[in-house]
Structure 1
Amino acid sequence: MRERPGCGAPPRSSCDRPAGARRPALRETLSLLAGGFAVRVRAARAGGVPGWADGLHLGALAVAVVTVAQLPVLPYLTYKVWTVLGVVLTVALVRGWTRVAAPLAAIAALLTSWPVVLGWLHGPVVDVGPLYGDLAPVAPYWVVAAASAVLAVRRAGVGRAPGKGRWWGATMPARSPWWLVVPPVCWALQLARVPAYEPVWGVARAGVEVVVLLLVLAATLAARDGRWALAAAVFLVPGLVHLAENLLVTGVGGFLYWSVLTVLVAASLAAARRGRVRA
């Protein structure tokens, strides 16, 4: 007896599908992911403030968090007052209290760079933290101080009605409290007793930075907004100062590392400019 088509016939496997049958589904999935990512980054933009202020705030916060996370805290707290100052500064930036962060960052920048700024004096007025005679170690402090000062004197304050509120109230939207988790996690890693200059830490940090900058580029392209590119540029400034000061002793790996970061930041800035022109 002849079998009717479709009755008792073995099911067709996925291998029997035409070669191009999977591609539309894959493209659709990628398109959905890209669309969801674009919606997410657009929703992440702080409302009520211009993009340049939001990017400057985010960049200053990233520099401050990384700088505080590198303080020698565990297993021995070397600089007690300095660590407390760094924590308060980070909290102020997370909360958007730039009028509190600006003077704290200025004090930190002045004290750390005392030998550079006022080297003719015997010592600083208050010796509570590290002192540096080079520009590279103090560059992060001055970047945070300059950015905080600009944000502190902004005309429009977020969350502050005219004539109301405290002077130290928020002038910027509050950031995610997850930023405050980064320093304790890095301090806990100090218990491993692995020096910061060990290759494993350098490779790990480089990998994290490259991934983050790739996300910045993707967010800039998706949202056509330059705030993340500006934040990345602010974050890169201390690194470029370090490179310029140590140019003669930087190896091939160092040049490659800084070149990759610079190219990614430059690409993000170019994408932001292009998106602004199209808009």
Structure 2
Amino acid sequence: MSHALERRYRRLLRAYPEHYRAEHGEELIGTLMEAARPGAQRPPLRETAHLLAGGFTARVRAARAPGVPPWADGLHLGAVVVAVATFAQFPVLPYVNYPAWTVLGIVLMVALVRGWTRVAAPVAAVAAVWTSWPIVWGGFYVPVVNLGPLYGDLAPVAPYWVVAVVSVVLAVRRAGADRTAGRVRWWGATMPARSSRWLLVPLAGWALQLTQVPTYEPTWVVSRAGVEVAALLLVLAATLTARDGRWALAAAVHLLPGLVYLAENLLVTSARGFLYWGVVTALVVASLVAARRVHAKA
């Protein structure tokens, strides 16, 4: 096997989790031996596709939270995505206009990523109620404390309410499970922890704010839409390969605040806007339909 071919296949094999390589090492070595046949100059497309598909499937299945119902895991992942995406867009740099709100957002995101739903639930509830204050009080009363932003529209507060509702549902579900098992824990992880890499999302968003590039610039808008569509395509693939609906549910939770925004701005949405929302909605619906069919066949 040429050195270039060996390096290429080693990169492909790293896509597999360590435990999968240990269990299926002979099969993977056989694929490499086949690729090393005389005259082979590059990895055959079939073997390459097999390795990539197998690695993706293995990683998706390994990412499932053990001992947690798919609906709870999907809701949790969706809340994490909504929280990190919302606070990544919140103006923090170069000037911290709401230091207390920034700290609250960091606490909320860390609590969600670590699985501390009983910590995340009250923090998210405070964030949801605070941002909705002008809606609740009709603008007649403005708090003296400058904790964070106040919105008079539904679209900006929708992400906070989605995170709050999901956090409360997960906290109550886990509390009931603990009582059934004879133990009650009011501190610590009540859901399996997510990867700490999720916290890089708000950090990247805040770092981009230093460039002073407006979020409505075409390049920024198209790039963000491309990333979102690619992520939803991966959700659809994960739903089909892992035969599990939690990814589709997480995508639906992520889409919900966006649909509130679309409904509130329906009359001023451009043709490109409708195209974008149509594509992302179609991908989420396709994932939900695939999840339902997979569940029906199980």
Sort the TM-score into its range (normalised by shorter chain).
0.7 to 0.9
1:86 and 2:105 aligned: yes
1:62 and 2:81 aligned: yes
Q: 2:177 maps to which residue?
A: 156
- TM normalised by structure 2 equals 0.82
Q: Residue by residue, what CA displacement relative to the aligned partner does 1:160-198 show, whole Å, maximum 9, x if unpaired?
A: 974264x12211000001111111111111111111222
1:103 and 2:122 aligned: yes
- TM normalised by structure 1 equals 0.87
Q: Residue by residue, what CA displacement relative to the aligned partner does 1:208-244 show, whole Å, maximum 9, x if unpaired?
A: 1001001000000001100000000000000000000
Instruction: Report if the CA contact (8 A) 1:111-1:126 is conserved.
Output: no
Q: 1:229 maps to which residue?
A: 248
In 2 relative to 1, CA 30–66 (structure 1 residues): closer, same or farther, beyond 3 Å? same
Instruction: Report if the CA contact (8 A) 1:109-1:138 is conserved.
Output: yes
1:262 and 2:276 aligned: no
Q: 1:137 maps to which residue?
A: 156
Identify the match of residue 205 of structure 1 among 224, 227, 236.
224
- Structure 2: runs of 5 or more not aligned: 1-37
- Structure 1: runs of 5 or more not aligned: 1-11, 15-21
Runs of at least 4 residues off by over 2 Å:
25-29, 124-127, 160-165
Identity of aligned residues (%): 71
Q: 1:127 offset after TM fit, Å?
A: 3.0
Identify the match of residue 233 of structure 2 among 214, 230, 238.
214
Secondary structure of the equivalent of 1:192? coil
Quote the Cα distance in structure 2 between the aligned partners of 1:182 and 1:13: 45
Which of 1 and 2 has higher RCO (CA within 8 Å, sep 6+)? 1
1:147 and 2:166 aligned: yes
Quote the Cα distance in structure 2 between the aligned partners of 1:36 and 1:88: 34
Identify the match of residue 262 of structure 2 among 227, 232, 243.
243
1:185 and 2:230 aligned: no
In 2 relative to 1, CA 78–120 (structure 1 residues): closer, same or farther, beyond 3 Å? closer
Quote the Cα distance in structure 2 between the aligned partners of 1:49 and 1:275: 18
Secondary structure of the equivalent of 2:151? coil
Quote the Cα distance in structure 2 between the aligned partners of 1:121 and 1:13: 79
Pair member with larger Rg: 1
Instruction: Report if the CA contact (8 A) 1:61-1:93 is conserved.
Output: yes
Instruction: Report if the CA contact (8 A) 1:156-1:171 is conserved.
Output: no
Quote the Cα distance in structure 1 between the aligned partners of 2:181 and 2:111: 20
